Structure 1
């Protein structure tokens, strides 16, 4: 099996993992503490292998095309947050649910965004170049966004006992290790194969993480089911708004067709697995936050299957180059 085949069918892999996890968690609830203990090292491993696919050692490369990087950063970090603020009107007045929506919609994707760009015949080279910048900017700006959108509730989130530990162990450590791995691989041509082989792991590791969450959080998932229909409208609205913004900014910045497609997928995909550790580290009473994050990622994947048909045929077809 080729890696591209695995990535093309990843949505079904994730769905299967969730279903199996829910079944196991229902019939063997006593396993929950063990599975929960496996979740954190699995998340750290997932983030590490994913970060190795981001060219962290080549941040300056993204700024060689100022027009494209301006469109990506302006859309993701100025215009889309305004869209998210408007979509909160569709979300139930529940702090945990709203936090889940904010966490997942305010951070642009840095992994399967590249995969979908490739499948839609976008500009993969620019997609790869821009990902490290997007990753760094979102880590810096996310606390500011949460403070602006949640006000006093932000203090409670920051004061959650495990937040600092999670940030260092599950985000900073894998990021630093991935950077060192990339630098090590660049010193010898034969080592580049290591990065290539690590590229096979994000899909199975994310499936493992989803399985562990589903199996260890059955009760929380069951109690949150009634809320998912309410947040679905916001997530679908985001996909529609992101696609429209991608087409619009592609025209405003006079981007070539391939770059416009890349821009659209940058707007439409979100970094759910990066914010997932923060959602899982929240104290009791916030369990719905992680469920909302996982739900958005699954809904987004189905949305991307639709976009892979819509973008090259209707939204940004051949001949639509600026």
Structure 2
């Protein structure tokens, strides 16, 4: 499944869209399934983020600097410029900014590896990217959208989505990883004088470590099916709305396509400025181009009714991006060939 996941993702999108079209009444049921399926996907995604390697990511100074500058200094300028084309429609504006301001931390790792990029270095940087975007997204929205619109948004559903679909899965993933690293012999915890209570507690902790490793292995095996299920459910629940709002949504398709095009030279320039090697260069380009649409979707779904179209704007970006990633995997190795002069 991992070898054929691009085709499987596209098939899931088609299947979800067909289900939504053929059974329009299923949209409400599928929409209720988004949060549970997405929560599992995000838990599985966060399990793949090596929280223990934050130190290693911090030591990879040039790569991390290139990724951070590109995503949180260059991309916001690009997103602001592109968003001016839909600034007259608040729902389109919020949707475009919400998705373009957040760098991807899940399937970007896969696509980077398929293109011969340094997926391991990007994986190590994923926790930093996640933490920084959680801090800066509200700041950029306040600057680009304005305090008037931001203050009109009811924060309670937004906070609930943030807590239950991002913070809770993130914390559970970190806890699972911590438990999975517990190893050793409970009898070696200390001499008999330590007492039976401490040895019993140690044994339980070690058993929890075994369970944690089993959970991580199971969720890794389910990653592709969960991504397929999420894409199918999201597209199936929103496809009728996409059809009804097709005229408005077509306005953002060229913006997303332009974003994918412009991020290639900008990513190459960022990598060249950091004097990175070819695999790292490809990873930087993918990081700048792919967005965190599935992670921010619950936040878009929590927006008030006047901004309800923003969730469809986010879904549209996912559809455009997946097609763009297929092109990236095919053509980026030609733009950053293995015999390039870029060196670490």
Query: Is TM (by shorter chain) over 0.5?
Result: yes
Map of 1:129 onto structure 2: 124
Task: Give the secondary-structure state (helix, strand or coil) at the position aligned to 2:117.
Answer: coil
Distance change (3 Å), C-alpha of 1:21 and 1:278: farther
Structure 1 distance, partners of 2:254, 2:220, is 33
Map of 1:210 onto structure 2: 231
Map of 2:136 onto structure 1: 141
Give the number of the structure whose alpha-carbon radius of gyration is greater.
2
Residue 160 (structure 1) shift: 4.2
| Cα contact 1:92–1:98 (8 A) shared by 2 | yes
| Cα contact 1:120–1:312 (8 A) shared by 2 | yes
Structure 2 distance, partners of 1:215, 1:301, is 16
Distance change (3 Å), C-alpha of 1:249 and 1:16: same
Which structure 1 segments of 5+ residues have no match?
none
Distance change (3 Å), C-alpha of 1:10 and 1:146: farther
Which structure 2 segments of 5+ residues have no match?
184-208
| Cα contact 1:272–1:294 (8 A) shared by 2 | yes
Map of 1:319 onto structure 2: 339
Map of 1:261 onto structure 2: 282
Structure 1 distance, partners of 2:231, 2:19, is 8
Structure 2 distance, partners of 1:226, 1:68, is 41
Map of 1:167 onto structure 2: 162
TM-score computed with the length of structure 1 as normaliser = 0.91
| Cα contact 2:20–2:27 (8 A) shared by 1 | no
Residue 92 (structure 1) shift: 5.9
Residue 43 (structure 1) shift: 1.8
Structure 1 distance, partners of 2:27, 2:255, is 31
Among residues 196, 200, 218, which one is paired with 2:221 in the alignment? 200
After superposition, residues 1-322 of structure 1 pair within 5 angstroms as: 3-26=1-24, 29=25, 31-91=26-86, 93-151=88-146, 152-157=148-153, 159-188=154-183, 192=213, 194-313=215-334, 315-322=335-342
Aligned pairs, number = 315
Structure 2 distance, partners of 1:73, 1:244, is 16
Distance change (3 Å), C-alpha of 1:145 and 1:139: same
Structure 2 distance, partners of 1:262, 1:321, is 16
Structure 2 distance, partners of 1:229, 1:6, is 29
TM-score computed with the length of structure 2 as normaliser = 0.86
Distance change (3 Å), C-alpha of 1:263 and 1:42: same
Structure 1 distance, partners of 2:69, 2:271, is 12
| Cα contact 2:34–2:233 (8 A) shared by 1 | yes
| Cα contact 1:96–1:286 (8 A) shared by 2 | yes
| Cα contact 1:160–1:283 (8 A) shared by 2 | no
Task: Output one character per residue of 1:135-161: Cα deviation in whole Å (capped at 9) or x when no partner.
Answer: 11111111001101110211123x244
Structure 2 distance, partners of 1:135, 1:265, is 16
Residue 38 (structure 1) shift: 2.3
Task: Give the secondary-structure state (helix, strand or coil) at the position aligned to 1:234.
Answer: helix
The alignment yields a C-alpha RMSD, in angstroms, of: 1.9
